[in-house]
Amino acid sequence: MANSEYTPPKVWTHDTGNGGEWASINRPTAGARTETTLPVGDHALQLYSMGTPNGVKVTVMLEELLELGKTEAEYDAWLIKIGDGDQFGSDFVDINPNSKIPALLDHSTTPPTRVFESGSILLYLAEKYGAFLPEDPAARTECMNWLFWQMGSAPYLGGGFGHFYAYAPEKFEYPIDRFSMEAKRQLDVLDKHLANNETMAPGGYSIADIAIWPWYGWLALGKLYDAAEFLSVHDYTHVQRWAKAIAERPAVIRGQRVNRAWGDPATQVPERHSAADFTTD
């Protein structure tokens, strides 16, 4: 019942009908559920992902590298439909045993190098191609501070606020209040930092910005959970300035289209294999 008090049992058991929008795929177990062979394209970098905030981090990073002229960062992007459970296929689980997108396989090494967790992929690509990561030790450390801040904070925004505000089968005041408070606190952390800094780390645009923007930039721009008014995101003026500036970058515009299979067809590049897959810029 919607407002009854819940008494936890002595031993928790999985209720398949109690997971809201994702009930059909969520289970308390790991590992492959199907034998599935992933496609492999012509490039060294093979990305298996979807255009969620975590997926967009990596496609933006790759497009930014290409924007710099680093043609060796050309990649194949294959759509993983998480609503259909593609992430539980055997080949995908071999790359990421946690069954979460994005997952990257780098065939330029022998054997190929698997990279999973979006923050790890960003760091791997930054170090591999020597870009978007400060060289100065103090600036690099500050960049890492904010990268790991994002990795630790976003689950409160997505799995906490986003789940209970947008996806849960019923609306409950306590979890929505709890995670709304945390989402707004995180926005305030960013706003105070960006009041005195153009970008997240010294030295300019970096993987810290690339990691944070698809979560908090989208939220500030009204593109996440339809929650802009509810969270009064317009109050965070420095986050707004930062989010709008990043949104105008050509590589960011392109990166948001990759592995996207919904919305206006002009914004979709469900699977990308060359620059020619972008019909408009």
Calpha distance 180→220 (Å, rounded): 14
pLDDT value at position 19? 62
Q: Domains in the chain and their CATH numbers? A: 45-132+259-277 (3.40.30.10), 137-247 (1.20.1050.10)
Q: Count Cβ neighbours within 10 Å for each residue of 170-197 and write b for 16 or more, e otherwise.
A: eeeeeebeebbeebbebbeebbebbeee
Res 2 pLDDT > 70: no
Nearest to 61 by CA among 13, 123, 153: 123
Q: Are strands 75-79 and 103-106 parallel, antiparallel or unpaired?
A: unpaired
pLDDT value at position 272? 97
State both tokens at 178.
């709890």
Averaged pLDDT, 23-46: 94
Averaged pLDDT, 56-76: 98
Phi/psi-derived region of residue 36, left when phi > 0, alpha when psi is between -120 and 50, beta in every other case: beta
Res 1 pLDDT > 60: no
Contact of 125 with 65, CB cutoff 8 Å: yes
pLDDT value at position 269? 97
Res 22 pLDDT > 70: no
pLDDT value at position 280? 53
Res 20 pLDDT > 70: no
What confidence tier does 16 reach under pLDDT thresholds 50, 70, 90? confident
Q: Are strands 75-79 and 113-116 parallel, antiparallel or unpaired?
A: unpaired
Q: Supply the pTM of this predicted model.
A: 0.95
Q: For 132-172, how does the pLDDT look when each residue is reduced to its tens digit (9 = 90+)? A: 999 999 999 999 999 999 999 999 999 999 999 999 999 99
Calpha distance 134→144 (Å, rounded): 10
State both tokens at 200.
């997240």
Q: For 184-194, how does the pLDDT look when each residue is reduced to its tens digit (9 = 90+)? A: 999 999 999 99
